[in-house]
Structure 1
Amino acid sequence: MTDPGDAGFHAGELAVQTRAGVRREASRLEPLLEPGELSPGLAGFLAGQTFLAGTGRDEAGRLWTSPLTGPPGFLEVRSGTELAVHARIGEGDPLHRIAAWQKLGTVTVDFARRRRVRMNGLLLVSSDDVLVIDVEQAFGNCPQFIQQRVLDPAGVESGSARRGSALGAEDVALIRAADTFFLGTAHPDRGADASHRGGPRGFVRVDERGLWWPDYPGNNMFNSFGNLAVDPRAALLFLDFATGATLHLAGTARVEWGEEGRVVRFAVERFVAARSGFVREF
């Protein structure tokens, strides 16, 4: 159940909004964070989706972001607050057999129509073929930087994976070719959050210090940056929409503020390179 103390922006979000000079603009959106029911309109939207990114913790407590995919109908609203995700997290995925009773952050993206909705809550059930989430927050984000594409919900099944701490040439190539990735962050009390990031192909750079990307203007809520202000641990998910390859990164992130804008620096601690189920572009 939602803790009333979880409503509204937390101290990290407020601090980042203040530094960015958008506190007044953000305050107008604060009601979106209040607990609310999954409306019939949202249920209809979710019923037509084939993709969801989720952020949670593995058995060691490390944060990861993973894709959850399936044919239309795999996202089922069972009640005003209960969402069932009928998908299997493959054995090669770092969140395979994710433990229940942890906070889970999710975002579903309709790439074709350029719409996205974030839903965060408590993972009640985790089995081989379904995740059940008690949704505590659900709100839409603007279509900005969503790269338009159509996904085929019938693809490959994840299996064996390559794991390590130092990225290989093929991993760097996937990152540098990306026009989309997903960022996972968490707050020690509020729980996990998953957000979509997009830009022109090559907007994520890789150098001797790790990964970095420019922060493009958004909705001024700074949910992800607010979490990072409290806890720098983060997770990135890159997808090759043509082949179904996935690259999961776990590490730490920090925001660098400059006169010409903000950039985010990410230091890789661990990676998992695998294959996603049902992520194909056509």
Structure 2
Amino acid sequence: MSPYHHGERIAQERAGLLDNADFSSAAIGAAIPDIARDFLAEQPLIIIGGTDANGDVWASQLTGETGFISATSPTSVDIAALPTPGDPLHEPLTHATHLGMLAMEPTTRRRMRMNGTARPTPGGLHVTLDQVYANCPKYIQKREPTRRPTIPAAPRHSHELSTEQITFLTEADTFFIATTDLEGNADASHRGGNPGFLHTLSPTRLRWPDYVGNAMFNTLGNIQVNPHAGLLVPDWTTGTLLQLTGTATVDWDPQHADAVPGAQRIVEFTIHHIVQTDQASPLSWSTPQYSRFNPPPPQPIEGATA
């Protein structure tokens, strides 16, 4: 049986990459490779994605000391951390729910995606896995982490980006995106590029180029059947987290993509709700070494706010 759902197959066909996707599908399994167990145990950070009670999709992150992520069996993972009470995924994770996860190590540019069902445990989560696979190192900026004491500020909610948030997004080189299929199966993925690759079109609209990837089209395939999506944009220096939920659409017009360096397609995102938490993360990361795969940043789009 194919590991891809209907939306993913639609996206693969529209991109003309069905054969490439079939080749890549061999990497998708339900068990954690032995070598990946050590990788998970070394991580201080994991990105998560899921859906709240209103059907909104959110991306967030969990952090901990080395070993807070552990592969308790080939098909399950324990995470000794939970979202803080002000996080949009705090309440959904108080009961069994679909969860997408991305373990990414900027120091080595390695990443690993895991999707499954999370159940709460005392002080953490137990996740039964459905899908496990590694991703290529493209578009990951190299960074080194340090840990420092921090107390997260109270989350601030809004429905439009402030001037400061627009400036922050304009300078971003990395964000994470959570999506789900029609059954709620969640996925968390990474997007990276040189500063300027993420455009703010207005206080409620964003746009970014979709670069060459692994041809699986997990994110775009989910958007084909369920436009709800969540973005997490970290401030790697201060630990501030900007979480956005809204709806995404894919522009498949090749002429529009041709106008943006490296773009295969263009993704637009309409913001419905914003949560900003200052000093949310105890991790501070070094100045980035940009990926050699990053295309040049696109020129500002006519009519964009930033």
Q: Deviations over 1:196-250 (max 9, x none)?
A: 1100012100013610001111111100000000000000000001001110000
Q: Gaps spanning 5+ residues in structure 1: where? A: none
Q: Deviations over 1:130-164 (max 9, x none)?
A: 11111111100000000000122444243411001
| 1:184/1:217 CA distance change after superposition, 3 Å | same
Figure out how many residues of one structure are paired with residues of the other and give that number.
Answer: 275
The answer to whether the Cα contact below 8 Å between 2:178 and 2:231 also exists between their aligned partners in 1 is: yes
The answer to whether the Cα contact below 8 Å between 2:56 and 2:229 also exists between their aligned partners in 1 is: no
Tell me the TM-score normalised to structure 2 length.
0.86
Q: State how far apart, in whole Å, the 2-side matches of 1:9 and 1:169 are.
A: 40
The answer to whether the Cα contact below 8 Å between 2:51 and 2:184 also exists between their aligned partners in 1 is: no
Q: In the alignment, which residue of structure 2 is the partner of 1:217? A: 212
| 1:262/1:202 CA distance change after superposition, 3 Å | same
1:199 aligned onto 2:182: no
Q: In the alignment, which residue of structure 1 is the partner of 2:22? A: 27
1:69 aligned onto 2:59: no
Amino acid at match of 1:251: G
1:234 aligned onto 2:229: yes
Amino acid at match of 2:16: G
**Structure 1 residue 89: Cα displacement:** 1.4
Alignment of 1:135-154 (within 5 A): 135-154=129-148
Q: Deviations over 1:37-96 (max 9, x none)?
A: 223211111111111110012243321100111121111111111211112312332112
1:103 aligned onto 2:106: no
Q: In the alignment, which residue of structure 2 is the partner of 1:87? A: 81
SS of 1:148's partner is coil
Q: Deviations over 1:6-65 (max 9, x none)?
A: x51111111111111111111011133342x22321111111111111001224332110
**Structure 1 residue 190: Cα displacement:** 5.9
Q: In the alignment, which residue of structure 1 is the partner of 2:281? A: 277
Q: State how far apart, in whole Å, the 2-side matches of 1:240 and 1:190 are.
A: 28
The answer to whether the Cα contact below 8 Å between 2:240 and 2:281 also exists between their aligned partners in 1 is: no
1:47 aligned onto 2:41: yes
Q: Deviations over 1:98-119 (max 9, x none)?
A: 2321110010100000000000
**Structure 1 residue 277: Cα displacement:** 2.5
**Structure 1 residue 126: Cα displacement:** 5.0
**Structure 1 residue 125: Cα displacement:** 1.8
Amino acid at match of 2:173: D
SS of 1:78's partner is strand
The answer to whether the Cα contact below 8 Å between 2:68 and 2:81 also exists between their aligned partners in 1 is: yes
Q: In the alignment, which residue of structure 1 is the partner of 2:241? A: 246
Q: State how far apart, in whole Å, the 2-side matches of 1:210 and 1:151 are.
A: 31
Q: State how far apart, in whole Å, the 2-side matches of 1:166 and 1:152 are.
A: 32
| 1:243/1:216 CA distance change after superposition, 3 Å | same
Amino acid at match of 1:272: V
Q: State how far apart, in whole Å, the 1-side matches of 2:267 and 2:117 are.
A: 28
Q: In the alignment, which residue of structure 1 is the partner of 2:268? A: 265
SS of 1:220's partner is coil
Amino acid at match of 1:17: Q
1:56 aligned onto 2:50: yes
**Structure 1 residue 166: Cα displacement:** 1.1
Q: Deviations over 1:154-177 (max 9, x none)?
A: 442434110011111121122111
SS of 1:172's partner is helix
The answer to whether the Cα contact below 8 Å between 1:155 and 1:244 also exists between their aligned partners in 2 is: no
| 1:34/1:281 CA distance change after superposition, 3 Å | closer
Provide the alpha-carbon RMSD of the alignment: 1.6
The answer to whether the Cα contact below 8 Å between 1:163 and 1:271 also exists between their aligned partners in 2 is: yes
Amino acid at match of 1:262: R
- Spell out structure 1 runs of 4+ moving beyond 3 A: none
Q: In the alignment, which residue of structure 1 is the partner of 2:302? A: none
